[in-house]
């Protein structure tokens, strides 16, 4: 399965991105690689970026999302981002519940702006539970309407990370946008993991952290908490046999006189170590944070999306991205002679026609380059997403170079290589295109993404001509 290219906004230290790409181990369980690759990531926090770049092959850039030149973002199929959530948080008290009126809450418009201009196939947005009720319930419908106005069919669900193997009760609103209805109907939000796969705080506490004296609260802090504990409900000690309460970005300044989760060792209270906090968030132990100060580590970890939660969210995309192959024999039975035939239009290239771009093998590329080829045999597999009865043009894709030349598909039919290679099985059916050279459409080869098995792209001449005209304008 070909990997989809992803652009990541507000990426932080990379929790969302790690869950998206997969390929890591957490508490002894392997989380397999997903069919995604990050081609662009950005965050305005240089410390989070430093952590990110120490852990990912693709490097994140430090930039305010409002300063992004959208044209500079490489080609991508999915946009992801947990846009800043402080102004939507239920616990945000200073100032109270600003919601989308706050400057940080407005940053989701930058995500919408990129969606409007670039129109990727999907997007995934994440935010806190408080988003659902922010601004007397007005913020969330407005946000959904903005995403829909950008051209997307949007679904959303409140998910609790604890239901998916994360040892933390962390509720988050997940919004997923689909440009095409056919993708939407294939996606389903993930099922909860089985009870025996769920994790609790005791699974991630480290014995060596009990020896770190700086993690323990002073006798004075404990006495102050005990004085108001009953009426203020302070000193939130976590049970080892349950998931931890939600951890936050101010872990370095955890107080007993707050609702922050803490831990007891014997009769002493202590905060979590940075590595324990990372484990609570479901980061694997080989994910490095030590290149920044401990305070910066706590902040980055507390603001992150749990990788295991994100991994479960994107896992159902396996079903969305599956492309079944056509049954060539059935097509042969239905169309014994030809599927479609076309003729040149005297007025030149027609922009409303469909064009198939296909990788061609090295043993035929020379004939494609000199325009002498008149027949193209596809492989045994051909994607069912391509509307054969609409095909009109064909463009060969040369490995390492891209596309350049335009051909007319005179006839599309079912045949076999036995027609020109007697040693081949005559019943080994495949699609055959009888083609004729039209013109060299590009001055030089142009690289283009082949999203189906890295082999095919079904598009229109309007899109191809638009690419050509953009190139000419840049000269």
Joined together, the tokens standing for residue 263 give: 């831990």
Confidence of residue 299 (pLDDT cuts 50, 70, 90): very high
Which run of H or E residues covers position 178?
Answer: strand 171-178
Integer CA distances (angstroms), 378 to 97, 381, 433, in order: 59, 8, 8
Averaged pLDDT, 100-105: 50
Decide: pTM greater than 0.85: no
Q: Other C-beta atoms within 10 Å of 23: how many?
A: 11
- pLDDT at position 97: 39
Burial of 236 (0-12, 13-18, 19+ CB in 10 A): middle
Q: In angstroms, rounded to a whole number, what is the distance separating the alpha carbons of residues 268 and 263?
A: 8
- Give the residue carrying structure tokens 């790690």: 18
- pLDDT at position 366: 86
Find, among 61, 84, 88, the residue nearest to 7 by Cα: 61
Residue 374 DSSP symbol: -
Candidate from 65-69, 100-104, 309-313 with smallest mean pLDDT = 100-104
The residues, ordered by sequence, that sit 6+ positions from 137 with a Cβ below 8 Å of its Cβ are none
Confidence of residue 209 (pLDDT cuts 50, 70, 90): very high
pLDDT of 68 over the 70 cut: yes
Q: In angstroms, rounded to a whole number, what is the distance separating the alpha carbons of residues 357 and 359?
A: 7
- pLDDT at position 99: 45
* pLDDT tens per residue across span 115-167: 999 999 999 999 999 889 887 888 889 889 999 999 999 999 999 999 999 99
Averaged pLDDT, 193-209: 95
Alpha helices in 59-138 (DSSP H): 108-118, 134-137
Which domains does the chain possess?
4-200+282-321 (3.40.50.150), 328-474 (3.10.590)
Integer CA distances (angstroms), 65 to 58, 120, 300, in order: 18, 18, 18
The residues, ordered by sequence, that sit 6+ positions from 111 with a Cβ below 8 Å of its Cβ are 9, 65, 79, 81, 83, 123, 125
* pLDDT tens per residue across span 416-459: 888 888 888 888 889 999 999 999 999 899 988 888 888 999 99
Residue numbers annotated as active site: 85
């Amino acid at each position: 399965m070909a990997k989809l290219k992803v652009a990541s906004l507000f990426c932080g230290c990379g929790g969302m991105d790690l869950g998206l790409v997969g390929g890591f181990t957490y508490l002894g369980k392997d989380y397999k690689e997903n069919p995604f690759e990050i081609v662009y990531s950005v965050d305005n926090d240089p410390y989070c970026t430093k952590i990110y770049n120490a852990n990912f092959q693709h490097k994140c850039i430090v930039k305010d999302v409002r300063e992004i030149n959208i044209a500079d973002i490489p080609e991508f199929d999915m946009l992801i981002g947990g846009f800043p959530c402080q102004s939507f948080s239920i616990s945000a008290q200073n100032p109270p519940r600003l919601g989308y009126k706050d400057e940080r809450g407005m940053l989701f418009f930058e995500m919408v702006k990129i969606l409007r201009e670039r129109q990727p196939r999907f997007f995934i947005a994440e935010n806190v539970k408080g988003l659902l009720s922010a601004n007397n319930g007005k913020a969330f419908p407005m946000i959904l309407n903005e995403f829909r106005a950008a051209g997307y069919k949007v679904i959303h669900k409140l998910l609790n990370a604890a239901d998916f193997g994360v040892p933390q009760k962390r509720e988050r609103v997940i919004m997923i946008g689909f440009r095409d209805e056919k993708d939407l109907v294939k996606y389903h939000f993930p099922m909860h993991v089985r009870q025996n796969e769920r994790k609790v705080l005791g699974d991630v506490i480290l014995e060596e952290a009990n020896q770190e004296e700086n993690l323990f609260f002073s006798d004075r802090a404990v006495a102050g908490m005990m004085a108001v504990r009953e009426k203020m409900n302070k000193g939130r000690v976590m049970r080892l046999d349950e998931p931890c309460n939600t951890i936050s970005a101010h872990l370095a300044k955890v107080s007993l006189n707050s609702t922050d989760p803490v831990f007891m060792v014997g009769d002493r209270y202590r905060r979590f170590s940075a590595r324990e906090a990372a484990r609570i968030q479901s980061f694997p132990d080989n994910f490095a944070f030590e290149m920044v100060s401990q305070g910066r580590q706590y902040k980055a970890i507390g603001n992150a999306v749990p990788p295991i939660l994100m991994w479960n969210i994107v896992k159902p995309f396996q079903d969305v991205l599956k492309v079944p192959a056509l049954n060539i024999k059935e097509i042969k039975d239905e169309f014994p002679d030809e599927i479609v035939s076309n003729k040149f239009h005297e007025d030149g290239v027609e922009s409303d026609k469909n064009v198939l771009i296909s990788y061609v093998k090295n043993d035929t590329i020379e004939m494609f380059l000199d325009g002498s080829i008149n027949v193209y045999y596809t492989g045994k597999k051909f994607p069912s997403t391509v509307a054969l009865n609409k095909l009109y043009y064909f463009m060969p894709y040369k490995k390492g170079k891209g596309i350049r030349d335009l051909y007319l598909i005179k006839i599309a039919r079912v045949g076999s290589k036995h027609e020109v290679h007697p040693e081949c099985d005559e019943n080994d059916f495949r699609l055959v295109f009888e083609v004729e050279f039209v013109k060299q459409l590009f001055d030089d080869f142009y690289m283009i993404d082949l999203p189906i098995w890295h082999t095919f792209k079904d598009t229109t001449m309007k899109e191809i001509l638009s690419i050509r005209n953009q190139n000419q304008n840049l000269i």
